[in-house]
């Protein structure tokens, strides 16, 4: 695919946003509705001999996810096939991922991490009630728009791939498994508590600036998650509150029945930690040497934002790239929903029973 290609007679490709193990994601203009969308185009070579089964699974997934209507879930608008290429059309989120936030700032303030974590928990609870497990919650799949709203992308992709492909092919497509719950690493089916574990790891990383486990290899790191409880949050983040540490410890329990029973309970725990006065304001950490300050440099510290009395809606309206007359600037942070990284040598176990990731 190339710039200006017209997909399905409707979506004109404007700019490549990102690539992953299984797809490319493009910014495109929906010429019928005059709006910007993200078009995910599946790679022909992603599945080899299993391509047909994989594509069928992803198309079934798209139909399920398209029914999920929630302010914290990236919407799926359309799906189809164009000149032999299967594609998904999704809401375009102009902003940045949690991964970019952590890489730019080093770590987030506790209040900000709780806010994003609570929003994601709300999205997960809604999806779970519809019978959909995410299976791949991680910083790359949590997008923050220009108004500070978290949106979850890529529901069900990980489960579809691991059920359909051989372990080696699945590993090449999915890459990192650093956020999978212990039972999923062992090959058991994911359930809502598995998503809770993955989200808790993500919140932990937001506050501490790193994951609680760090082995010499991905396999060693996964082995730590199977054998031990995550170290208390305040061993890596001295300024974190005892309340948040306690909430994350429960959500990161090794056994699913020791965790919060639902994403709603975990979200309530996060909000309770904040209400107890646990959120400590802190300035952003400077970008690492040699890095661009990234998108967060413009946002400034939490303290500075408190003194900015300009209404959020007005500030957003003043941004010139909000206009539909021209595409969002490539210099603004553009988030792809294909942010899957490929590198982990760890074997992905086959599912022992049918997974509930799709109803």
Name the band, by pLDDT with cuts 50, 70 and 90, for residue 58. low
Once rounded to an integer, what is the mean pLDDT over residues 323-351? Answer: 45
Cα first-last separation, the chain: 33
Task: Decide: residue 328, CB within 10 A, 0-12 exposed, 13-18 middle, 19+ buried.
Answer: buried
Q: What pLDDT does 44 receive?
A: 67
Cα distance between residue 188 and residue 182, in whole Å: 9
In this structure, the chain runs to a length of 359
Cα distance between residue 73 and residue 277, in whole Å: 29
Q: What is the dihedral of CA 236, 238, 242, 248, to 10 degrees?
A: -20
Cα distance between residue 252 and residue 198, in whole Å: 8
The answer to whether 18 touches 318, Cβ cutoff 8 Å, is no
Cα distance between residue 114 and residue 97, in whole Å: 16
Is residue 282 scored above 50 in pLDDT? no
Residues tagged active-site: 136
Is residue 129 scored above 90 in pLDDT? yes
Q: What pLDDT does 67 receive?
A: 87
Is residue 138 scored above 60 in pLDDT? yes
Q: What percent of the chain has pLDDT over 90?
A: 47
Q: What pLDDT does 294 receive?
A: 41
218/89: higher pLDDT: 89
pLDDT in tens, 298-335: 444 444 344 343 343 343 444 333 444 466 766 544 44
Q: What pLDDT does 121 receive?
A: 99
pTM: predicted TM-score of the whole model, two decimal places:
0.75
Q: Give the least confident one: 23-32, 161-170, 249-258.
A: 161-170
The answer to whether 144 touches 99, Cβ cutoff 8 Å, is no
CA Rg value for the chain: 20
> According to the 3-state scheme, what is the secondary structure of the chain?
CCCCCEECCCEEEEEEEEECCCEEEEEEEECCCCEEEEEEEECCCCCHHHHHHHHHHHHHHHHHHCCCCCCCECCEEEEEEECCEEEEEEECCEEEEHHHHHHHHCCCCHHHHHHHHHHHHHHHHHHHHCCCCCCCCCHHHEEEECCCCEEECCCCHHHHHHHHCCHHHHHHHHCCCCCCCHHHHCCCCCCHHHHHHHHHHHHHHHHHCCCCCCCCCHHHHHHHHHHCCCCCHHHCCCCCCHHHHHHHHHHCCCCHHHCCCCHHHHHHHHHHHHHHHHCCCCCCCCCCCCCCCCHHHHCCCHHHHHCCCCCHHHHHHCCHHHCCCCCCCCCCCECCCCCCCCCCCCCCCCCCCCCCCCC
- Joined tokens for residue 147: 């108004």
Q: What pLDDT does 277 receive?
A: 61
Cα distance between residue 196 and residue 125, in whole Å: 10
The answer to whether 87 touches 24, Cβ cutoff 8 Å, is no
Q: What pLDDT does 165 receive?
A: 42
CATH code: domain 110-138+176-278 is 1.10.510.10
Once rounded to an integer, what is the mean pLDDT over residues 256-279? Answer: 90
pLDDT in tens, 152-192: 998 755 444 444 444 444 444 444 578 989 998 888 888 99
Once rounded to an integer, what is the mean pLDDT over residues 326-348? Answer: 45
Indicate if the alpha-carbon torsion angle 14, 15, 17, 20 is positive or negative.
positive
- Joined tokens for residue 90: 């999704």
The answer to whether 281 touches 109, Cβ cutoff 8 Å, is yes
User: What is the rounded average pLDDT for all residues in the chain?
Assistant: 77
């Amino acid at each position: 695919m190339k710039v200006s290609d017209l997909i399905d007679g409707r979506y004109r490709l404007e700019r490549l946003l990102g690539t992953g193990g299984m797809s490319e994601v493009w910014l495109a203009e929906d010429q019928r509705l005059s709006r910007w969308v993200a078009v995910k185009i599946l790679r022909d070579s992603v599945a080899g001999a299993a391509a047909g089964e994989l594509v069928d699974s992803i198309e079934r997934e798209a139909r399920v996810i398209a029914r999920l209507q929630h302010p914290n879930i990236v919407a799926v608008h359309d799906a189809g096939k164009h000149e032999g290429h299967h594609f998904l059309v999704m809401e375009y989120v102009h902003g940045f991922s949690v991964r970019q936030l952590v890489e730019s700032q080093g770590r987030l303030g506790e209040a900000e991490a709780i806010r994003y974590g609570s929003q994601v928990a709300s999205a997960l609870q809604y999806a779970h009630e519809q019978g959909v497990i995410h299976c791949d919650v991680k910083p790359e799949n949590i997008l923050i728009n220009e108004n500070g709203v978290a949106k979850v992308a890529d529901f069900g992709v990980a489960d579809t791939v691991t059920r359909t492909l051989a372990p080696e092919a699945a590993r090449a497509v999915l890459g990192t498994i650093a956020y999978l719950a212990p039972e999923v690493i062992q090959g058991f089916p994911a359930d809502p508590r598995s998503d809770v574990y993955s989200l808790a790891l993500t919140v932990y990383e937001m506050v501490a600036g790193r994951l609680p486990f760090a082995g010499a290899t991905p396999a060693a790191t996964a082995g730590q998650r199977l054998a031990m409880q995550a170290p208390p949050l305040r061993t890596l983040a001295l300024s974190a509150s005892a309340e948040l540490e306690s909430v994350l410890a429960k959500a990161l329990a090794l056994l699913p029945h020791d965790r919060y029973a639902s994403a709603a309970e975990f979200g309530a725990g996060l909000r309770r930690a904040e209400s107890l006065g646990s959120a400590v304001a802190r300035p952003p950490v400077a970008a690492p040497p040699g890095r661009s300050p990234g998108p967060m440099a413009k946002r400034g510290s939490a303290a500075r934002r408190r003194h900015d009395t300009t209404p959020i809606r007005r500030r957003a309206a003043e941004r010139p790239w909000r206009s539909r007359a021209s595409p969002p600037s490539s210099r603004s942070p553009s988030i792809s929903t294909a942010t899957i990284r490929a590198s982990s040598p760890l074997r992905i176990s086959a599912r022992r029973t049918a997974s509930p990731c799709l109803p």
